[in-house]
């Protein structure tokens, strides 16, 4: 079933059918009708691959998170990153490829060279990121969720993590807390230049200065209840006077709450706990439900994908650099200091 079958059935030539398919002008109404009817009765749909070959664009994007094993993705990425990307791509009539296997410089270049993709959306961008360097050098289109150090000419959408730190302390200090502990990403993450790991500590330092507070933090493994538990234990041993703890994930926060319980302290009566990161179900499944500074991964990935498609659709599309502010959602895990 090809365009030729439609042409024959309607008694016209192939180019005429093509014109009608693509809503070009200069087609007689009567012809248009006849062709549309042929299309309908035959149940014809144009061959996507052929259109793409002819059109020169693959109409396909990729989304990439640099992780060792796809098994682990579910602990660092919310489903909404996939659905937001998929929805935006679908609206713009793009396909999307989720890259979950290890990506090498060679295979990344190959995706463009072999016309598998027109552009890519990068997650978990480091300050100095080989993917960014490579794509920039080769002048291949991409968009970041996150950002590197040298942003000249690059489009990104990133979480305003530094601001989130300030707002977290705003909230807690407003409730009268002065002894606030902080559990953040692993030191290793900061050393390799992963944005939030670096910027959360920057924001933390600024918050301490702003409110004249004493430093009291710990770098731990991300996204594990156990690590949150251990880190909080350490923190409490050295600083029994803590009345609040800020964490960077709901899992760490859950661990904190367990550790506090072990020390005979319940949340929020004897200690407040906050989480910076995702909200929704992730925050309310914890008991007590978590007060958060949160972003919508759905919206962020949706917007980044739209940005990518617009960049591809327009010659010399202007660079866009967006910092998304977090939203404070007060649930059950914070209260006034007693």
Partner DNA sequence: CTGAAAGCGCTTACAG
Q: Under the rule (CB under 8 A), what is the footprint of a copy of itself?
A: 1, 43-50, 52-53, 58, 60, 70-71, 73-75, 77-80, 82-84, 86-87, 90-91, 95-101, 109-110, 113-116, 223-225, 250-251, 254, 257-258, 261, 280-282, 284-287, 289, 298
Strand-pair category, 327-329 with 291-295:
antiparallel
At its nearest, how many Å lie between a copy of itself and the CB of residue 108? 12
C-beta closer to DNA: residue 13 or 107: 13
At its nearest, how many Å lie between a copy of itself and the CB of residue 337? 23
For residue 171, the surrounding DSSP H or E stretch is helix 161-174
At its nearest, how many Å lie between a copy of itself and the CB of residue 233? 15
For 25, list phi and psi in degrees, rounded to 5: -80, -175
C-beta closer to a copy of itself: residue 219 or 227: 227
- For the sheet containing 142-145, what is the strand order? 95-99, 60-64, 119-122, 142-145, 156-159, 321-324
C-beta closer to DNA: residue 113 or 191: 113
36 binds, among DNA, a copy of itself, none (CB under 5 to 8 A by kind): none
Cα–Cα distance measured from residue 331 to residue 333, given in angstroms and rounded to the nearest whole number = 6
- The number of residues in the chain equals 338
At its nearest, how many Å lie between DNA and the CB of residue 305? 24
Q: Please enumerate, as own/partner, the contacts of 70-74 that have beta carbons within 8 Å and a separation of 24 or more.
A: 70/100, 70/101, 73/100
At its nearest, how many Å lie between DNA and the CB of residue 96? 22
90 binds, among a copy of itself, DNA, none (CB under 5 to 8 A by kind): a copy of itself
270 binds, among a copy of itself, DNA, none (CB under 5 to 8 A by kind): none
Tokens 């661990």 appear where? 255
At its nearest, how many Å lie between DNA and the CB of residue 57? 11
171 binds, among DNA, a copy of itself, none (CB under 5 to 8 A by kind): none
71 binds, among DNA, a copy of itself, none (CB under 5 to 8 A by kind): a copy of itself
Sequential DSSP letters for 236-269: HHH-TT--EEEESSHHHHHHHHHHHHHTT--TTT
284 binds, among a copy of itself, DNA, none (CB under 5 to 8 A by kind): a copy of itself
Q: Please name which of 117, 146, 142, 116 lies closest in space to residue 131, comparing C-alpha atoms.
A: 142
Q: Decide: residue 140, CB within 10 A, 0-12 exposed, 13-18 middle, 19+ buried.
A: middle
Q: Please name which of 232, 149, 165 lies closest in space to residue 202, comparing C-alpha atoms.
A: 165
At its nearest, how many Å lie between a copy of itself and the CB of residue 236? 17
4 binds, among a copy of itself, DNA, none (CB under 5 to 8 A by kind): DNA
C-beta closer to a copy of itself: residue 14 or 73: 73
19 binds, among a copy of itself, DNA, none (CB under 5 to 8 A by kind): DNA
Tokens of 184: 């953040």
At its nearest, how many Å lie between DNA and the CB of residue 294? 44
How far is the first Cα of the chain from the last one, in angstroms, to the nearest whole number?
75
C-beta closer to DNA: residue 55 or 264: 55
For residue 318, the surrounding DSSP H or E stretch is none
Task: Give the footprint of DNA on this chain (CB under 7 A).
Answer: 2-4, 12-19, 21-22, 24-31, 46-47, 50-51, 53-56
């Amino acid at each position: 079933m090809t365009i030729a079958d439609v042409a024959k059935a309607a008694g016209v030539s192939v180019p005429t059918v093509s014109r009608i398919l693509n809503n070009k002008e200069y087609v007689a109404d009567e012809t248009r009708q006849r062709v549309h009817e042929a299309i309908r009765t035959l149940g014809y749909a144009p061959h996507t691959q052929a259109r793409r070959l002819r059109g020169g664009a693959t109409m396909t994007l990729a989304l990439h998170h640099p992780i060792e094993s796809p098994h682990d993705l579910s602990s660092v990425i919310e489903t909404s990153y996939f659905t937001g990307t998929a929805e935006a791509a679908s609206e713009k009539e793009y396909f999307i490829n989720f890259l979950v296997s290890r990506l090498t410089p060679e295979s990344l270049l190959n995706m463009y060279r072999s016309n598998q993709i027109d552009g890519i959306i990068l997650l978990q961008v480091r300050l100095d990121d080989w993917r960014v360097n490579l794509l920039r050098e080769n002048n291949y289109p991409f968009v970041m969720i996150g950002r590197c150090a040298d942003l000249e000419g690059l489009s990104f959408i990133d979480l305003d993590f530094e601001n989130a730190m300030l707002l977290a302390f705003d909230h807690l200090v407003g409730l009268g807390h002065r002894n606030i502990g902080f559990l953040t990403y692993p030191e290793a993450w900061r050393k390799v230049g992963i944005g939030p790991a670096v910027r959360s500590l920057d924001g933390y330092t600024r918050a301490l200065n702003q409110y004249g507070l004493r430093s009291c933090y710990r770098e731990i493994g991300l996204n594990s209840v156990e690590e949150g538990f251990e880190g909080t234990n350490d923190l409490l041993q050295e600083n029994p006077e803590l009345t609040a703890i800020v964490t960077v994930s709901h899992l760490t926060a859950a661990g904190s709450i367990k550790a506090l319980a072990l020390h005979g302290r319940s949340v929020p009566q004897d200690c407040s706990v906050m989480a910076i990161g995702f909200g929704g179900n992730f925050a309310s499944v914890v008991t007590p439900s978590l007060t958060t500074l949160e972003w919508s991964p759905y919206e962020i990935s949706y917007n980044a994908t739209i940005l990518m498609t617009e960049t591809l659709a327009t010659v010399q599309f202007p660079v866009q650099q967006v910092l998304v502010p977090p939203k404070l959602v007060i649930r059950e895990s914070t209260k006034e200091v007693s």
